[in-house]
Amino acid sequence: MQKILFYFPLLLFLFASCSSDNEEGLTPKNEDNNNPCNTEEISYESGIAAVLSDNCTLSGCHNAQAAQPLTSYAELMIYVNNGSFERRVVEQQNMPPTGSLSDCEMEQITAWLAAGAPEN
């Protein structure tokens, strides 16, 4: 009984200390006005590579073993230079076929293309 009386307040304290009054950590990033989408100085390395990794280079779509890999800047630039990347992703919005990109991801890609698709 003494162990229960000892551990109960300790557990209560630990559970109470895990709460957070900070709403920023509870809101998905870039989905509200408190976390605006960063499109300034966007480059392949600073943002586009992550968008591709999260949405395009998945299980056989555009990974290293695919017929049209998008795992490097050089591979992506083939499709940027021939216009098919912008056409499929931005204009037709039929890539990725698993679902549309977030508004922020679309803004980042559009800004990156408008800036000349810089690598760094």
User: What is the average pLDDT across 96-101?
Assistant: 86
* Domain count across the chain: 1
Q: Which domain holds residue 101?
A: 41-120
115 domain residue, yes or no? yes
Mapped onto helix, strand or coil, the DSSP state of residue 84 is: helix
36 domain residue, yes or no? no
Which pLDDT score is estimated for 59? 66
Say if residue 114's pLDDT is above 70: yes
The DSSP 8-state label assigned to residue 28 in this structure reads P
Query: What is the rounded distance in angstroms from the CA atom of residue 57 to the CA atom of residue 69?
Result: 7
9 domain residue, yes or no? no
34 domain residue, yes or no? no
Tokens standing for residue 38: 């960063």
Say if residue 66's pLDDT is above 60: yes
Name the pLDDT band for 6 (thresholds 50, 70, 90). low
Q: How far is CA 104 from CA 3, 9, 21, 39, 85, in A?
A: 52, 45, 26, 8, 17
Name the pLDDT band for 25 (thresholds 50, 70, 90). very low
Say if residue 29's pLDDT is above 50: no
32 domain residue, yes or no? no
Name the pLDDT band for 8 (thresholds 50, 70, 90). low
97 domain residue, yes or no? yes
